[in-house]
Amino acid sequence: MMPFFPTPYPDELLYSVLARYHLRSGNISFKATMEDAFSTKNATAVVELPSNINALISNLPLNNEYTTDYLIDNHTLFPFYTAFLSPKRSQWVRDNMMKRNGKGIYGKTGIMASSIAANKYFKFCPLCNEEDKEQYGELYWHRIHQIPGVLVCSKHQVVLCNSKVPIKGYNKHQYVAASEENCIKQDGVCAYSNKTMLHLTELAKDVEFLLNNRFERRPMEWFNEQYKAKLIEQGFATINGNVMQKKLTEEFVQFYGEEFLTLVQSSIEIGSENNWLADMVRGRNRASHPIRHLLLARFLGITISDLFYKQLTYKPFGDGPWPCLNPVAEHYLKPVVKQLKISYSNDTKKPVGTFTCDCGFVYARTGPDVTEESRYKVGKIKQFGHVWEAKLKELVEKGLSLRQTAKLMGADPKTVKKYAAKLGLETCWEKGNDREMFKDKGDSVTAADKRDYYREEWLKLMNQYPDKSKTELRQLNKAVYAWLYRNDKEWLKSNSPEPIYKYRNARVDWDKRDKEILDKVKVVVEEMLNSTEKPERISLSLVGSKLGIRGLLEKHLDKLPLTKQYIDSVKESRRDFQLRRIKWAIRELKKEGEEIRLWKVLRKAGIRKEFRQELENYISEIREK
């Protein structure tokens, strides 16, 4: 039984707490301290994952507030070393830390199999020591400073120092407390490059986040799928998950630098596919050191929270619904398509999306989408559907020409003819107007027969459309009009609607339309500028697509001066759009509590490499505001 128990300090190792107990207890031998704490003299002073904690709890003074789980979660390295283990294995480690015999713990966590060696000496931050001395009157060993790969203090961003206390000492029962005598700051502390120092600081912060937050334990397959989604998205793997090892290795080493990777014991030989990174992305179900999970996640731009809680999926065509590109549908260009099937092209090595709308229109295109405009492109029409076919039947029944019909259907004339035949439609362009009428008469067809036929067809047209002018009737059946004009011109003149000479105000009121469209355009632009989602580039085509009047704006913008003036004033150049994306990325990172780092901003904003250099100064200025 322990007569007292020192209050654990923030982020203090349980080892350090027991070391302070030994100093205050007056015990001459460490075995006596072991007897007080664990009711046995054969316990071992373990730094990272101590066992026999149930016995320790039972020996604490009465009415204490500590539990086994509290000590494990807050004063051992359990949260770090088990973060990427399966729920079953993580619980096994916790259970065995509670028991007297902790044999096999290190094997279960993968520490023993890892090539990342433990620290030889306890580490400390000189500035933390000064603060601890002032606030608590003594020094103590911080958990985060003892993790291999953490070489910088996450709080003060200074290089950690080695103490004089070896982690694996000669006496395995000995607890050595931190003191001013064994924590002496070295004069020649290593100086690292700015790039290396940046990565060391970021890694320390990631480790701190992992230590101080409780994450749901996931099976190894979860992390494999998380990494795969990002590898595909960033072009390091095919859509089938085949990793381009050489490209990945080269960019990974370039991103971190050889100096940093060597310091954190995670060097990679470029050109070799037998390395720890290749093993991780191949999806092999073997435990990897947490440090390496953090390195890979940061390289791929995955936050720790997203890594554990947001199931990442590769979306080469963005989020649905997607626009229907059926030109005759009422919902043309509107986001109503909910069904998407993604396949992989063996030729282009790119994803191919097949989009199916409820109107029956099915189209495909090759991805990934790189701009908003990509969503409105058709690579191949696989099926026109019932709505399109119904419209074709309607136009055929009106007797429109093939060219007119094809234009209204948004298809090639050959395609229109093919589908008209498939649907069994009788068309004026196929029967040639008089072909069916005269085929049974053979050579006995006279000029009078043809004249009577065309006159009758023209009169039928006039009766069917009594309000249409001569010009409008001509457009409805050009073949009949052409024959009569060439062969029976006087009759045609006498049997056509009278010309209407009075003024007909059929003109479009472009001034009125300009004002109406301007109001709508302003609303769309404001929504785009105020959206909290990833920014879209303000352009004539995108604004027009969102309003469903893209064709009108592109063809008749000169007749809409107010709208044109406004769009010209707000449309974004490539650089303007990049700067707006950068501002958005900085706001998002601040919301997420992330440190505003250059590479983070660029990755979040989706800025391509060739434009990064010219934007670095701008980012440096804006992130300080």
| Cα distance between residue 263 and residue 204, in whole Å | 13
Contact (Cβ atoms closer than 8 angstroms) between residue 142 and residue 160:
no
Which CB contacts under 8 angstroms, 24+ apart, belong to 433-439?
433/457, 433/477, 433/479, 433/480, 433/483
Cα torsion at 510, 511, 517, 519 (round to 10°)? Answer: -170
The confidence band for 616, taking pLDDT boundaries of 50, 70 and 90, is low
Q: Are residues 301 and 204 in the same domain?
A: yes
191: in domain = no
pLDDT, tens digit, for every residue of 214-248? 888 999 999 999 999 999 888 888 877 888 888 99
pLDDT at position 351 over 70: yes
Coil, strand or helix: which one is 254? Answer: helix
Q: Are 173 and 30 in contact (CB under 8 A)?
A: yes
424 is a domain residue = no
Give the per-residue pLDDT at 433.
47
Task: Give residue 32's identity as a one-letter amino acid code.
Answer: A
What's the angle, vertex CA 487, arms to CA 485 and CA 488, rounded to 5?
Answer: 70
Q: Are residues 326 and 349 in the same domain?
A: yes
**Statement to judge: residues 299 and 341 lie in one domain:** no
- What is the distance between the alpha carbons of residues 177 and 162, in angstroms, rounded to a whole number? 14
89 has a pLDDT exceeding 80: yes
| Structural domain range at position 144 | 14-186
Residue 353 lies in a domain: yes
Q: In this model, does residue 1 exceed pLDDT 70?
A: yes
Q: Does residue 38 share a domain with residue 144?
A: yes
DSSP 7: P
Q: Quick one: pLDDT band at residue 111, thresholds 50, 70, 90?
A: low
Domain boundary among 279, 309, 339: 309
> pLDDT class for 110, splitting at 50, 70, 90?
low
169-183, 293-307, 363-377 — which one is most confidently predicted on average?
Answer: 293-307
Does 550 reside within a domain?
Answer: yes
65 burial type by CB count under 10 A (0-12 exposed, 13-18 middle, 19+ buried): exposed
Say how far apart CA 168 and CA 119 lie, in whole Å.
Answer: 9
Residue pair 495/459 in contact (Cβ under 8 Å)? The answer is: yes
From the list 13, 16, 17, the residue with the least C-alpha distance to 5 is 17
Q: Is residue 472 part of a domain?
A: yes
Q: Of 555, 572, 589, which one is at a domain's C-terminal end?
A: 572
Q: How many domains does the chain have?
A: 6
Looking at 146, 164, 186, the residue that finishes a domain is: 186
Q: Are residues 23 and 130 in the same domain?
A: yes
What is d(CA 349, CA 340) in angstroms, rounded to the nearest whole number? 19
Highest mean pLDDT range out of 36-45, 94-103, 526-535? 36-45
Same domain, 160 and 33: yes
- For the residues 299-313, what does the mean pLDDT come to? 92
Q: Which helix (H) or strand (E) holds 584?
A: helix 574-591
Q: Does 272 reside within a domain?
A: yes
* 441 secondary structure, DSSP code: T
- Do the Cβ atoms of 175 and 131 come closer than 8 Å? no
Q: Is residue 6 part of a domain?
A: no
Pick from 121-125, 368-372, 417-421 the range whose average pLDDT is largest: 121-125
- Rounded distance between C-alpha atoms, residue 375 and residue 560, angstroms: 26
**Three-state secondary structure of 289-332:** CHHHHHHHHHHCCCCHHHHHHCCCCCCCCCCCCEEECCCCCCCE
Place of tokens 């029409």: 381
Distance between CA atoms of residues 74 and 95, nearest Å: 16
Which pLDDT score, from 0 to 100, does residue 256 have? 94
- In this prediction, residue 186 carries a pLDDT of 79
**Angle CA(541)–CA(544)–CA(545) in degrees, nearest 5?**
85
- The per-residue pLDDT of the chain, averaged, comes to 85
Closest by Cα among 428, 429, 430 to 457: 428
Per-residue model confidence (pLDDT) at position 378: 87
pLDDT for 475 equals 82
Are 485 and 587 part of one and the same domain? no
Q: Is 597 exposed, middle or buried (0-12, 13-18, 19+ CB in 10 A)?
A: middle
Residues 335 and 444 in one domain: no
The owner of tokens 């303007």 is 576
Distances in Å between the Cα of 494 and the Cα atoms of 464, 490, 499, 548, 575 are 18, 6, 11, 44, 65
Residues 339 and 482 in one domain: no
Domain assignment present for 132: yes
Q: 22 and 143: one domain? A: yes
| Interval 15-28: pLDDT, tens | 999 999 999 998 98
CA distances to 353, 368, 420, 491 from 357, rounded to whole Å, are: 13, 20, 22, 51
Same domain flag for 28 and 70: yes
The model's pTM: 0.62
Measured distance CA(331)–CA(335) in Å, rounded: 8
Average pLDDT over residues 473-502: 81
pLDDT at 114 over 70: no
Locate tokens 């890594």: which residue? Answer: 307
Tokens found for residue 528: 């785009």
10 vs 502: which has the higher pLDDT: 10
What is the spatial distance between Cα 252 and Cα 235, in angstroms, rounded to a whole number? 13
408-412: long-range pairs with CB below 8 Å, 24+: 408/328, 409/327, 409/328, 410/327, 410/328, 411/384
Q: Is 157 in the same domain as 305?
A: no
